[in-house]
């Protein structure tokens, strides 16, 4: 039986690595994939993570090769133990993602089972974490594809491997929703007399604010991401960054009206699909998204996936 070799990533692995990444991404988000350049760039830095990425002091990418194939791959991060790192990441070693081909079709001699390669890769990852001597060990599934993070329910093989290695889900679960922009509800007019929309720059994309005179009673932020140089497939996607309505105006249709204004704006940008996010349980801040989940469903969103964020393992000697 051919041996399994666990080694650092080589440039010649880039195409097989990207295929492995995109296969896992597309099981979560339909038709979504990253280019080879985007995958390779993500191994060097994450410019979008402008808060936490500067805390990373070391990055390691490993692959498990079996029968001339990249059967499994993992990307590990070491966060600085210094005061510049946030408390949650300080002196943390993390498997940012670990992926492997989960099944070998029965009777197919050309497709070797990757379970052994995945086990060997995990053992190498744990040795790397121990060599770093970090006080905390974590894991996740943050791919260079929007909407793919944590350990999604579509990756039971990854979840099982993490659990066998001693990682446990200690964080919270998020639900990712998806809607067709042209399928979102469109109310006939403003639900409150005198309500107008104002468009400005927001923290997470374009902000559309619901205003009554000088008062802002609600807002929604939507961000489109064509990213033609990073996405292997065409764009047309957008995310909801923030949606809020002042307490006195809730349950009066303001949120639905704001969402319709966002849909009109996105249609002008030729964005066809819109994603929303909500916690399935109380998030770390204690927020309860029960009402927001009901709102998204009523507005025309469907549940795309549930993903478990926050996996930890007790480091040796901890």
189 with 225, same domain? Answer: yes
**Strand order through the sheet with 69-79:** 4-8, 56-66, 69-79, 92-100, 136-139, 311-313, 168-169
164 with 15, same domain? Answer: yes
Q: What is the pLDDT of residue 281?
A: 86
Cβ-Cβ contacts under 8 Å for 121 (sequence gap 6 or more): 6, 62, 63, 64, 72, 73, 74, 98, 100
Average pLDDT estimate for 68-85: 96
Q: What is the pLDDT of residues 260-299, one digit of tens each?
A: 999 999 999 999 999 999 999 877 777 889 999 999 999 9
Count H helices and E strands in the chain, helices first: 6, 15
Residue 295 within any structural domain of the chain: yes
First to last CA, the chain: 38
12 with 152, same domain? Answer: yes
pLDDT band of 318, cuts 50, 70, 90? very low
Residue 204 within any structural domain of the chain: yes
Residue 317 within any structural domain of the chain: no
Residue that has been written with the tokens 């002196």 in this structure:
91
199 with 126, same domain? Answer: no
Q: What is the pLDDT of residues 114-170, one digit of tens each?
A: 999 999 999 999 999 999 999 999 999 999 999 999 999 999 999 999 999 999 999
Is 232 a residue whose pLDDT tops 90?
no
115 with 262, same domain? Answer: no
193 with 141, same domain? Answer: no
71 with 14, same domain? Answer: yes
Containing structural domain, residue 33? 4-169
- What count of Cα atoms within 13 Å lies in the side-chain half-sphere of residue 43? 21
Residue 103 within any structural domain of the chain: yes
Which of the listed residues 169, 188, 213 is the one where a domain comes to its end?
169
Residue 313 within any structural domain of the chain: no
Report the Cα 177 to chain-centroid distance in Å.
12
Q: Which of 299, 314, 315, 290 is nearest to 263 (CA)?
A: 299
Which of the listed residues 119, 138, 169 is the one where a domain comes to its end?
169
Q: What is the pLDDT of residue 85?
A: 96
204 with 92, same domain? Answer: no
Residue 316 within any structural domain of the chain: no
Domain count, the chain: 2
Q: What is the pLDDT of residue 315?
A: 54
CATH code for position 198? 3.40.630.30
pLDDT band of 50, cuts 50, 70, 90? confident
**Strand order through the sheet with 215-224:** 151-152, 302-308, 173-180, 273-279, 237-245, 215-224, 205-212, 195-202
Cα–Cα distance list, 172 to 155, 229, 308, 311 (Å): 17, 33, 6, 10
| Distance from C-alpha of 73 to C-alpha of 96, rounded to nearest angstrom | 11
Q: What is the pLDDT of residues 178-221, one digit of tens each?
A: 999 999 978 778 999 999 999 999 999 999 999 999 999 999 99
22 with 101, same domain? Answer: yes
Bridge partners (DSSP) of residue 237 are: 273
Residue 160 within any structural domain of the chain: yes
145 with 222, same domain? Answer: no
Which of the listed residues 169, 186, 213 is the one where a domain comes to its end?
169
Token reading at 61: 């990418």
Residue 315 within any structural domain of the chain: no
Q: What is the pLDDT of residue 157?
A: 97
Q: What is the pLDDT of residue 235?
A: 62
Cα–Cα distance list, 12 to 9, 18, 125 (Å): 8, 11, 21
Q: What is the pLDDT of residues 80-112, one digit of tens each?
A: 999 999 999 999 999 999 999 987 777 677 777
Q: Are 254 and 191 in contact (CB under 8 A)?
A: yes
Q: What is the pLDDT of residue 287?
A: 82
Question: Is residue 83 packed enough to be buried (19+ CB in 10 Å), middle (13-18) or exposed (0-12)?
Answer: exposed
Q: What is the pLDDT of residue 100?
A: 98
185 with 154, same domain? Answer: no
Residue that has been written with the tokens 């468009």 in this structure:
199
Token reading at 170: 């200690």
10 with 155, same domain? Answer: yes
């Amino acid at each position: 039986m051919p041996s399994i070799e666990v080694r650092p990533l080589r440039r010649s692995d880039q195409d097989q690595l990207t295929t492995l990444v995109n296969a896992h991404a597309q099981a979560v988000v339909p038709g979504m994939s990253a280019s080879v350049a985007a995958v390779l760039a993500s191994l060097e830095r994450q410019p979008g993570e402008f808060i936490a990425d500067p805390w990373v002091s070391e990055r390691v990418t490993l692959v498990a090769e079996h029968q001339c194939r990249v059967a499994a791959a993992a990307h590990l991060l070491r966060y600085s133990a210094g005061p510049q790192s946030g408390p949650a990441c300080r002196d943390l070693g993390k498997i940012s993602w670990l992926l492997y081909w989960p099944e070998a079709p029965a009777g197919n001699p050309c497709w070797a089972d990757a379970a052994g390669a995945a086990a060997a890769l995990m053992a190498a990852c744990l040795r790397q974490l121990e060599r770093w001597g970090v006080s905390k060990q974590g894991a996740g599934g943050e791919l260079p594809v929007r909407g793919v993070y944590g350990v999604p329910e579509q990756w039971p093989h990854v979840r099982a491997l993490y659990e066998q290695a001693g990682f446990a889900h200690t964080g919270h679960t998020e639900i990712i929703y998806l809607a067709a922009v042209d399928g979102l509800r469109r109310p006939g007019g403003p639900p409150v007399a005198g309500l107008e929309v104002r468009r400005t720059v927001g923290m997470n994309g374009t902000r559309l604010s619901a205003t009554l005179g000088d008062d802002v009673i609600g807002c929604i932020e939507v961000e489109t991401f064509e990213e033609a140089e990073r996405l292997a497939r065409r764009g047309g996607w957008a995310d909801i960054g923030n949606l809020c309505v002042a307490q006195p105006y809730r349950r009066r249709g303001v949120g639905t009206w704001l969402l319709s204004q966002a849909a009109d704006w996105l249609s002008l940008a030729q964005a066809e699909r819109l994603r929303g996010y909500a916690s399935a349980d109380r998030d770390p801040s204690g927020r309860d998204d029960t009402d927001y989940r009901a709102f998204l469903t009523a507005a025309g969103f469907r549940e795309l996936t549930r993903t478990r964020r926050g996996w930890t393992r007790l480091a040796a000697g901890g």
